[in-house]
Amino acid sequence: MNEESLEQARENAHRTHQKIISAIHRSLAQREDHLLKQIRRINGDALKKLEMLYSFMDELYSFVAKFTPCKIGCNHCCHYKVTIIEPEVQYIEKAAKIARRLAILNPEFSWQPCPFLKNGTCSIYKYRPFVCRKHITLCKTSAWCRVEKCNEVTLPMMAYSGIDTSYNFIVVESGSATDRDIRCFF
């Protein structure tokens, strides 16, 4: 089977994006639009706000998953840089019961797999960071996700303003404007 060309990949991603927009239930879209208001109402620390954001993202992306080739066992993106903020480190520590190690300021990245990639799958999938939850391909296959190709091109991705502004609110409110690769901590 021939791989799709870059032009085909972009066209397919655009079509997939349109299908998702057309098929998404109105109430889910409205909840995404009002997500920041819900997050602002939460009394408590950044971890509680992250939990609410992640819970909503899980719901939304379970719908989106019907339209993407991203599946268990496909782990190309687990070799990309995985940026996280301090509250996400704390969330992983608390929820997954995994202690961080002493922070490495500039780890050797070089497309090394995420430290949580075990036997081809994410060992902390339920507790994965924001960037991992958000990253999906809209192409027909994962061919353009492979490490040797991913930096060559830019393809359409899903973007949700309510999700993004909610995450940015958590970043600012927590004072964690600096993000680092997950390999710095685990």
Q: CB-based contacts of 32: which residues, under 8 Å, 6+ apart? A: 56, 60, 160, 161, 162, 163
Mean pLDDT over the full length of the chain: 90
List Cα–Cα distances, 75 to 50, 79, 116, 117, 118, in angstroms: 24, 7, 11, 8, 10
Share of the chain above pLDDT 70, in %: 97
d(CA 18, CA 155): 14
* Average of per-residue pLDDT across 87-111: 86
pTM over cut 0.85? yes
Per-residue model confidence as pLDDT tens digits over 15-74: 999 999 999 999 999 999 999 999 999 988 899 999 999 999 999 999 999 999 988 888
- Can you give the pLDDT at residue 132? 94
> Which band of pLDDT confidence, cut at 50, 70 and 90, is reported for residue 2?
low
What confidence category does residue 179 fall into, taking pLDDT thresholds of 50, 70 and 90? confident
HSE (side-chain half, CA atoms, 13 Å) at 100? 18
pLDDT at position 178 is 83
Query: Tokens in use for 30?
Result: 């409205």
- pLDDT score of 55: 96
Amino acid type, 120: G
- Sole residue written with tokens 């830019």: 154
Query: Is residue 180 a contact partner of residue 112, using CB atoms and an 8 Å limit?
Result: no
**Percentage, residues of the chain above pLDDT 90:** 60
